[in-house]
């Protein structure tokens, strides 16, 4: 990831009516920001704010030229395959000069899957 002020990272999560659900995602965003030294924002599909369109538009207005979206979902379900894609397409239609890259959902990463398996296995100790 570039450390340039023209590149930003959006962590995209589902959202919940329960505000406590947000806390782990905020911790992830803080850790990522400390590691990358770039703009890092959370965005939510529904039930929480800011929404993805709000975050993307704010970034475009800050002259950010490249936005990387990391879906904090376990797999490529309808929310990632359809909803996220539609939201990004609507944004890029409005802001064609901003490059948006959608990464694979975090649950498809071997690093994440191994960490989850390790956590589960160590819960027996």
What does the pLDDT look like over 32-85, one tens digit per residue? 999 998 999 999 999 999 999 999 999 999 999 999 999 999 988 898 889 999
Is 2 a domain residue? Answer: no
Active site residue 122: no
Percent residues over pLDDT 90 in the chain: 88
Domain boundaries, position 43: 7-122
Q: Is the pLDDT of residue 125 over 90?
A: no
What is the model's pTM? 0.91
CA–CA distance, 33 with 94 (Å, rounded to integer): 27
Give the active site residue among 14, 79, 93, 122: 14
Give phi and psi for 69, each to the nearest 5.
-105, 125
Is 1 a domain residue? Answer: no
Cα–Cα distances in Å, from 40 out to 12, 13, 125? 11, 13, 36
Q: For residue 78, give every residue at least 6 positions away whose Cβ sits within 8 Å of its Cβ, in sequence order, or none.
A: none
Looking at the structure of the chain, the number of domains it has is 1
Residue 84 maps to which CATH number? 3.40.50.1400
């Amino acid at each position: 990831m570039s450390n340039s002020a023209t590149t930003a990272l959006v962590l995209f999560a589902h959202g919940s009516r329960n505000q406590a659900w947000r806390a782990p995602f905020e911790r992830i965003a803080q850790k990522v920001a400390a590691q990358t030294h770039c703009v890092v924002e959370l965005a939510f599909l529904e039930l929480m704010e800011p929404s993805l369109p709000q975050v993307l538009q704010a970034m475009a207005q800050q002259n950010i030229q490249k936005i990387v979206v990391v879906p904090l979902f376990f797999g490529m379900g309808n929310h990632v395959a359809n909803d996220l894609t539609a939201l990004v397409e609507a944004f890029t239609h409005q802001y064609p000069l901003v490059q948006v890259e959608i990464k694979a959902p975090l649950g498809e990463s071997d690093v994440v899957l191994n960490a989850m398996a390790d956590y589960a296995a160590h819960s027996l100790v």
